[in-house]
A and B are shown apart, each in its own frame.
Chain A
């Protein structure tokens, strides 16, 4: 099941559940009843469906419905938060009373205005919403992926496939009368393959994700989904271990942006800088990378998984330039950090759902194309590795150390890709890696995979993209 885009006049999406403008005003009044600088209400109704194919049968489905409201009260840098899964007046007021405790001892400081719906652009237009797609059509899609994967290579012995879609309706209400609604669709298709050759067995997967409807699964994209899942698995059958130690690392265009996300992106989230625990605290305006490096965090890419029409505090989203020509230009701000730094919010206040307070987060993090031909970059390396795909990454914000896990790659010897390698963790230090990020390719690719970023126990969908890049020195976790 999936929630269709709600109909009705602006501000009316939750009225059928009894959430009237008068009620939201009362709840905000309660939230600010003990003082507090600001408050917000975040209503959410979401539903998701997934179907799963295993061993030749689409014999499992899952649906998930979530409904609730989170209320936040802000006093300076302090946050009081509570939520309710019931949208009755009594439950909403009780949650607001709890959140108000953060300002205990104060007196009501402001009048709550009557909410008036505002508008925003739409970065995720949908042609065929999932609410109009029946289960039978979903079953036929994943069935076709399995058939295609089995037909592609005789070494493929098992195929699993998933198709999931979700839509979330959110409404954000502020004491100054601002009210925004957003309908957020998303989908993810994934194929996992197990292949055998002799007594070697390997398994890998590929997935595609977007804020889109059924139209996202064009013939061409479905064909690539299956082809990549099979190719990545049979690649592993013939791949060897990576070497160990420090060496130049060339990152293929696209998913390599996991390096960008871990080594740089998290350090740009302003909460870490406001608390002065980020290695990039106090570096604004200074050079942190070679002049070829420009990095943006963009909420406005059409139908990207990381795109947002409006952030989860009701602020306008944008493409934020973080690093321009190697110079640090902006952090990613939510309202608390924007007030702290006396700048405009960048529309980066995000939350996993109504159970969580927003934090500054990435959306789609991209490195802009540079001057070098990708072939030229590979040719420049005497001995190193070329990384094609990745599983996961992590960073220590203060120390700056980051790591990411390569699943597929090649050894580079004498400027040429030689043997295939697999499964190596790669580790480095963010500022040091940026200094030696010495060749930027001219081939920016935004990865189509379904990345989820975790921070403080909250997962949010993100996108990332990068051209081919050479990093002069990173530590590769292989064997010698």
Chain B
């Protein structure tokens, strides 16, 4: 870490020497290894080592940002000289300044982001052979075309310095594993299912037997898939894919989109944007969280905050620059770990309680109109009637408007997904438009 601090302070000194009034430098280093196995043979083994710097420059009231992986001292000096020169050609922007020094700092919490007892790195091949064997056993009833499994680990460090004396650092480990199962359907199609996990601590990953059972079940549910009739159905959105829809919603919170007046959440602060009872929190301080942090992108201390509480929009994502442009208080420029509170019933119990419901298990393409909130996504999933699965679905779309969708939210299940940066249970919505046959 000292090397990174040295590099960052050297960059700040160089930038100041070249004429920058203020500067911010981040230097990051990462080491990671990836291993993948297909049908018993290693497919690829990769090691990645990276070191790069990013710099924000404030020159005569003008602003620019720069990245480089060429850290040779001479090259860095020349790079910064060109960067400072280029900045002088831009138009001035009085709102571009570093955050006030007094506002910057780090939350004083232990986030536990480094695994002190990682598994031995050399065992990768043996672990993947074991994972593949377990997957094949769990899929014994299926005609397996191919199994790919993978394993990766990484360690990442970064430091941030400003010309007005702020410095901070962060460090995290990452572990991931997963598998893809390709099977033969009776009509010549080769559906694939995927199950993957990541965590800051290796011991938090789902074990191979559970992973294999989940993967085989996901593959089994792809057999004989097709569309059912277009119409409105209740939607049960599976926990691990809530992020796709929620990402479209949180995209509307972005301070730049608000400033440019191209967000569908523009006039919605303090308003109801979801059904009563629906809440969404941003928690950067969650121990072991994949997006946990002690300071945000501006170097402001990280704090927990409500984004939506009981259906009302509580907070946009406003960084220091957008706060100055909008004349609004700063919140934070980007989300960290997002949390949707769990409900009491299991997804199975919810399915049992409804005459019919479509459970969406994965998305295929689709997009959102960020100015209106209209969305349309391709889906895969299953139709249940009277609690029993009656069809595996593919070649269908789900469409609507995000505000109306969340207005139609009715229940959260009890199955919070913990392997990503969104900690959400499966969510139930009433009356959603599906297009199929």
Interface residues of A (CB under 8 A from B): 1, 45, 49, 51, 54-55, 57-68, 77-86, 95, 98-99, 101-102, 134-136, 138-139, 157-158, 160, 192, 194, 196, 201-203, 236, 241-242, 244-246, 262, 275-279, 281, 355, 357, 391-405, 422-429, 475-480
List residues of chain B with CB within 8 A of the CB of A479. 399-400, 433
A357 to B227, CA, bound (A): 38
* Shortest distance between the CB of A50 and any CB in chain B (Å): 10
* Shortest distance between the CB of B180 and any CB in chain A (Å): 8
Contacting pair B91 A58 (CB below 8 A): yes
Q: What are 21 contact pairs spanning A and B, CB under 8 A?
A: A55-B259, A64-B67, A65-B68, A65-B70, A66-B70, A80-B44, A102-B42, A138-B89, A158-B260, A196-B261, A201-B261, A201-B262, A236-B369, A244-B397, A391-B367, A392-B367, A394-B378, A399-B394, A403-B366, A403-B397, A429-B395
List residues of chain B with CB within 8 A of the CB of A1. 79, 82-83, 86
Contacting pair A277 B66 (CB below 8 A): no
Other-chain residue from B70, B222, B230, B365 in contact with A245 (beta carbon distance below 8 A): B230
Contacting pair A61 B399 (CB below 8 A): no
Mark B48-78 against chain A: 1 for CB-CB distance below 8 A, else 0.
1111100000000011111111111001000
Contacting pair B365 A83 (CB below 8 A): no
Q: When A275-B146, A396-B364 are in contact, do A65 and B49 touch as well, CB less than 8 Å? A: no
Contacting pair B266 A424 (CB below 8 A): no
List residues of chain B with CB within 8 A of the CB of A275. 38, 146
Contacting pair B69 A65 (CB below 8 A): yes
Number of interface residues of B (CB under 8 A): 84
- Interface assignment of B376: CB less than 8 Å from any CB of chain A: yes
A67 to B79, CA, bound (A): 12
Contacting pair B83 A63 (CB below 8 A): yes
- Interface assignment of B411: CB less than 8 Å from any CB of chain A: no
List residues of chain B with CB within 8 A of the CB of A194. 260-262, 371
Q: When A398-B192, A428-B395 are in contact, do A65 and B367 touch as well, CB less than 8 Å? A: no
* Shortest distance between the CB of B436 and any CB in chain A (Å): 6
A158 to B371, CA, bound (A): 13
A470 to B68, CA, bound (A): 47
Q: Given contacts A245-B437, A427-B378, list 7 more A-B pairs with CB under 8 A.
A: A1-B82, A60-B90, A63-B64, A66-B70, A134-B89, A276-B145, A357-B44
List residues of chain B with CB within 8 A of the CB of A59. 62-63, 90-93, 96
A277 to B146, CA, bound (A): 7
Other-chain residue from B90, B260, B365 in contact with A403 (beta carbon distance below 8 A): B365
Residue of A with least CB distance to B50? A85
Interface residues of B in 233-291 (CB under 8 A from A): 256, 259-262, 266
List residues of chain A with CB within 8 A of the CB of B366. 403, 405, 425, 477
Contacting pair B371 A203 (CB below 8 A): yes
* Shortest distance between the CB of B47 and any CB in chain A (Å): 5
Q: When A59-B63, A394-B365 are in contact, do A477 and B68 touch as well, CB less than 8 Å? A: no
Contacting pair B62 A427 (CB below 8 A): no
Contacting pair B397 A427 (CB below 8 A): yes
- Interface assignment of B377: CB less than 8 Å from any CB of chain A: yes
* Shortest distance between the CB of A51 and any CB in chain B (Å): 7
Contacting pair A62 B146 (CB below 8 A): no
A424 to B367, CA, bound (A): 8
Contacting pair A392 B86 (CB below 8 A): no
Contacting pair B367 A405 (CB below 8 A): yes
Q: When A65-B79, A77-B41, A85-B69 are in contact, do A355 and B182 touch as well, CB less than 8 Å? A: no
A8 to B374, CA, bound (A): 55
Interface residues of B in 60-118 (CB under 8 A from A): 62-72, 75, 79, 82-83, 85-87, 89-93, 96
Contacting pair A61 B87 (CB below 8 A): yes
A470 to B370, CA, bound (A): 29
List residues of chain B with CB within 8 A of the CB of A475. 227, 395-397, 435-437
- Interface assignment of B372: CB less than 8 Å from any CB of chain A: yes
Contacting pair A399 B191 (CB below 8 A): yes
Residue of B with least CB distance to A84? B49
List residues of chain A with CB within 8 A of the CB of B433. 244, 479-480
* Shortest distance between the CB of B184 and any CB in chain A (Å): 9
- Interface assignment of B398: CB less than 8 Å from any CB of chain A: yes
* Shortest distance between the CB of A153 and any CB in chain B (Å): 16
* Shortest distance between the CB of A223 and any CB in chain B (Å): 24
A280 to B303, CA, bound (A): 51
- Interface assignment of B327: CB less than 8 Å from any CB of chain A: no
Contacting pair B376 A279 (CB below 8 A): no
A154 to B145, CA, bound (A): 59
A99 to B46, CA, bound (A): 7
Q: When A1-B86, A401-B364, A405-B376 are in contact, do A62 and B64 touch as well, CB less than 8 Å? A: yes
Other-chain residue from B45, B70, B377 in contact with A477 (beta carbon distance below 8 A): B377
- Interface assignment of B190: CB less than 8 Å from any CB of chain A: yes
Contacting pair A61 B64 (CB below 8 A): yes
Contacting pair B190 A64 (CB below 8 A): no
A399 to B226, CA, bound (A): 11
* Shortest distance between the CB of B270 and any CB in chain A (Å): 18
* Shortest distance between the CB of A313 and any CB in chain B (Å): 15
Q: When A59-B63, A60-B64, A475-B397 are in contact, do A98 and B44 touch as well, CB less than 8 Å? A: no
Contacting pair A425 B47 (CB below 8 A): no
* Shortest distance between the CB of B153 and any CB in chain A (Å): 15
Q: When A65-B70, A278-B190, A355-B48 are in contact, do A425 and B378 touch as well, CB less than 8 Å? A: yes
